[in-house]
Amino acid sequence: MKTYTIASYQSPLGGPVEIIKQTFTAVKDKPVKRIAFVSGLHGDELEGVFICHRLTEYLRQLKETHSQAFLGEVNVYPAVNPQALGAASRLWPFFSVDMNRQMGNGNGASLAAGFSNALLDDLKSSSDIVVDFHASNLHLKELPQIRIIEEFGKKLIPLASLCNTDLIWVHPTAPVFEATLGYNLNRAKIPTLVVETGICLRIHPDFCDQVFKGMLNLLHNTGILNLPDPPEVKPPLLVNPRQVALIQAEHSGLFVSSIPLGSWVKKGEKLGDIVDAVNGTVMETIVSTADGLLFTLREQPVIYQGAPLARIALKETTQP
């Protein structure tokens, strides 16, 4: 394993702030392919940081015991927004800048924009495939899934199908994506998968293990690693926005769920209650509006009218 610093500045508060890259080189001079794993772009999203830990730990041991397995090159960027990670905040602290809205040209000369574009340039020069790990916000917990902008679907769906997620969600583009890492890399013809799993500020070891196995399967099936014993993975559901039912609150109050994330639910099945703690009443019983997989569930209970509570992937979805 070789360690590189791809961006650095001297913080007035102490030591240097750095983006670190761990490189596992191929056994031959010319790697068959180069893949990059990126996490921590949003500093409060820790599931990917843990997945990168699992990958680095595994790859380090594999390099020692089966170095011949490395037909391609693997680069791991475990913590690309170190200032925000240190503060457990989504945004680069002090300036409140979203690094994942700074990618590409014309985003100013701030330190956060400089770091973002140093990362983007390094990925462009050293990757054939990129996986960018994210977690959900504080409000909603998500089953492991890959989100794909539909214009990139043809290239990305076959790769995403290898990753052992519960779901692949193909959706239309929107202006908000234009300054993201995933969008800019895909536009530069470097296939980039955006993984979304769990919830921010938490680690779900079972979700992380599921995605970790998916990443090993991706490495094996793209020929980057030749694993003697690749893990078993399951095919994901493939959905578009018409195949996702969103359930929203009709009342403000406290949402208390009564069914675990990942359940297969029937139309009319109870998902939870919205309660009025002041008067001690149940204001609304939330039921599923469709048969399908409960893949998003409200975790933060304080809600207002219209707040998203759950998403169901409809049962009649196709498999890729």
Which residues would be at the binding site for Zn ion (CB under 5 A)? 42, 45, 134
Residue type, 278: V
Measured distance CA(28)–CA(1) in Å, rounded: 15
The count of other CB atoms within 10 Å of the CB of residue 109 is 6
Start-to-end Cα distance in the chain: 35
Report the nearest approach of Zn ion to the CB of residue 53 (Å): 18
Please give the distance of CA 29 from its chain centroid, rounded to a whole number: 31
Report the nearest approach of Zn ion to the CB of residue 137 (Å): 8
* Alpha-carbon dihedral sign for residues 92, 95, 96, 100: negative
Q: Please say whether the beta carbons of 39 and 79 come within 8 A.
A: yes
In the complex with Zn ion, the residue whose CB is nearer, 45 or 47, is 45
Report the phi/psi class of residue 36: left, alpha or beta, with left for phi > 0 and alpha for psi in -120 to 50.
beta
In the complex with Zn ion, the residue whose CB is nearer, 166 or 196, is 196
Q: Please say whether the beta carbons of 104 and 178 come within 8 A.
A: yes
In the complex with Zn ion, the residue whose CB is nearer, 194 or 307, is 194
Report the nearest approach of Zn ion to the CB of residue 187 (Å): 19
Measured distance CA(233)–CA(243) in Å, rounded: 23
In the complex with Zn ion, the residue whose CB is nearer, 45 or 166, is 45
Report the nearest approach of Zn ion to the CB of residue 197 (Å): 10
In the complex with Zn ion, the residue whose CB is nearer, 99 or 170, is 99
